[in-house]
Structure 1
Amino acid sequence: MDEYSGAGELVAFGGVWAGAELRCDTEALEGLLTDDFHAVGPRGFPLDKKQWLERYDSGALVHDSFDWDDVEIRRYGDGAVALGIQSQQSVYEGRDMDGIFRVTQYLTSVPDGTWRLAALHLSPIAERPTG
């Protein structure tokens, strides 16, 4: 994962993360998330790392598309906050889960100098902002 240690590492990390989410690639996500990763879903429910990955391992969540863009990144020492828009066409347990979400991610630099996603929070937005 040395590609996350140079210039633009956080932008590169976001692209790799979004690709792993699209592919439901739990092996890749295992390495991208901190061991104590936590997320708050779009309806306010919390998920730890095991629960996040289990949605894919069980086949309950499948994405037809998954985009991460309009990202603004602010670094704070060994941490960073990324604010962006996640748009997806997805099915969860047979139900349509298409949506557009404002996402806040907290990333942390680990001792080897690479980045990991420690937390994220999704909030649904009615429509994609323009301009």
Structure 2
Amino acid sequence: MDRELAEFGRRWAKAELHGDIDMLDRLLAEDFRGVGPRGFILDKARWLERYASGDLIHDSFDWKEVEVRRHGDAAVAIGVQCQQSIVDGRDADGRFRATQFLAKGGEGAGDGNGAGDGWRLVGIHLSAMSEPLP
């Protein structure tokens, strides 16, 4: 896998796990859209607000089985997001197939040490996973 994009994925998952609003603010594009497993859509401000308000808390959050296809300054990453979480006081544990859409070139996407190298998460779409096919 592309080293830059693998590092981006690790940083993103760590920021989600810890509800690191400052890091997520740098990693998400200004026009970011997230589509949840039930079809709701959140813009960047609403995505971050879930952490700021304490409405979303992760006990664990993992981004694995990731396949990345890079297309110049854009990329698509498909992986599995596993989480043990609470949303609005309700259990939100789950395993989701996630498709991430990334673009390179936005300001603030690095961490000050060059990691991430300008990649931003433009969008994510989550689908709940059932049992794997035989």
CA distance, structure 2, for counterparts of residue 125 and residue 63 of structure 1: 19
Query: Normalised by the size of structure 2, how large is the TM-score?
Result: 0.88
Cα distance change of structure 1 residues 21 and 130 upon mapping to structure 2, 3 Å threshold: farther
Structure 1 residue runs of 4 or more that deviate by more than 4 Å after TM superposition: none
Stretches of structure 1 that go unaligned for 5 or more consecutive residues are 1-6
Specify the alignment match of 2:8 in structure 1: 13
8 Å Cα contact 2:106-2:119 kept in structure 1: no
CA distance, structure 2, for counterparts of residue 98 and residue 45 of structure 1: 17
Q: How does 1:1-131 map to 2 (within 5 A)?
A: 8-110=3-105, 113-127=117-131, 129=132
Deviation at 1:111, TM superposition (A): 5.3
Residue identity opposite 2:128 in structure 1: P
Stretches of structure 2 that go unaligned for 5 or more consecutive residues are 108-116
Deviation at 1:126, TM superposition (A): 1.4
The alignment's C-alpha RMSD in Å is 1.6
Counting matched residue pairs gives 124
CA distance, structure 2, for counterparts of residue 78 and residue 69 of structure 1: 23
CA distance, structure 1, for counterparts of residue 106 and residue 34 of structure 2: 23
